[in-house]
Amino acid sequence: MASIFVIGIACWSQYWIFVWAPLYGETLSVALGYFSLPLVLVVVGRFVYGDKLTPLQTLACCIAGAGVIYAYMMAEGLSWIVLLIALGYPIYFVHRRTLNIKSDVGFALDNLFLMPFALTAMLYLQPWDYIQQLNVSIWAYYLGLAVAGSVPMLLFLFASQSLSMSLFGLLGYVEPVLVFCVGLLLGERVATSDLPTYLLVMVALLILATDGLKRARSHGAVK
């Protein structure tokens, strides 16, 4: 029961900070938190679960770490938002593994735990009369957002239980790199000062991909 409560609080805090921080000018802190998270997961995997990294994975971790350190230097400080993200998710994943339940069941329990808070916030922020006047297209839009948000999160949780914690952590760098690429495709400009972090992380992902191909070929050769 205690683990379920901890998981619920950890999940709620991450959803809340993801929505709240950008509205109050803390987007950079959120980005730093998500850049730091994979490295924290690698440390958790090493010391909590005894994961072992291959030489290429270790190199990728060091290169990504250099990029994160550079980002910290440019940010001129470490905020509580960074710590909440970088430390909150590892607590969530560690407790989730102790329950030994399937990802879909765990995801459903997370949302059941959060539902009263979500309904309370919705009714507090929007009058009931306004909610009743929403037309079908708006409800369909929000339903689509729910599906679009739930499927990736469900796959995310499945990966956290199927992969070693260290490898799962390092692969966490795929998301910010993809967001970076999408931003470029949409015509957004990236500050020159931010480029070293993204470039180092991209190099780390290329090294991880190379390591994965090498191990796949080695595994195939053994068969």
d(CA 181, CA 173): 13
Mean pLDDT taken over the chain:
81
Domain ranges of the chain: 2-222
Residue 136's pLDDT is what? 84
CB 41 within 8 A of CB 163: no
Q: pTM for the complete prediction?
A: 0.78
> How confident is residue 96, by pLDDT bands cut at 50, 70 and 90?
confident
Residue 63's pLDDT is what? 92
Cβ neighbourhood burial of 193 (10 Å; 0-12, 13-18, 19+) = exposed
Residue 59's pLDDT is what? 92
> Which of 37, 29, 34 is CA-nearest to residue 169?
37
Q: In this predicted structure, which of 35-39, 165-169, 184-188 has the lowest mean pLDDT? A: 184-188
Residue 2's pLDDT is what? 56
Residue 218's pLDDT is what? 72
Query: Residue 213 in 3-state DSSP?
Result: helix
Helices and strands of the chain, counted as H and E runs: 10, 0
The structure tokens listed for 118 are: 């979500």
pLDDT at 222 over 70: no
d(CA 172, CA 128): 39
pLDDT at 4 over 70: no
Residue 66's pLDDT is what? 93
pLDDT one-digit tens code per residue, 100-114: 777 777 777 777 777
pLDDT one-digit tens code per residue, 67-92: 888 888 887 667 788 888 888 888 88
pLDDT one-digit tens code per residue, 121-178: 777 777 777 777 878 888 888 888 888 878 888 888 888 888 888 888 888 888 777 7
Q: What share of the chain is helix, strand, coil (3-state, %, to 5)?
A: 85, 0, 15
pLDDT at 216 over 70: yes
pLDDT at 219 over 70: no
All residues at 6 or more sequence positions from 18 whose CB lies less than 8 Å from its CB, including other chains: 30
d(CA 208, CA 3): 33
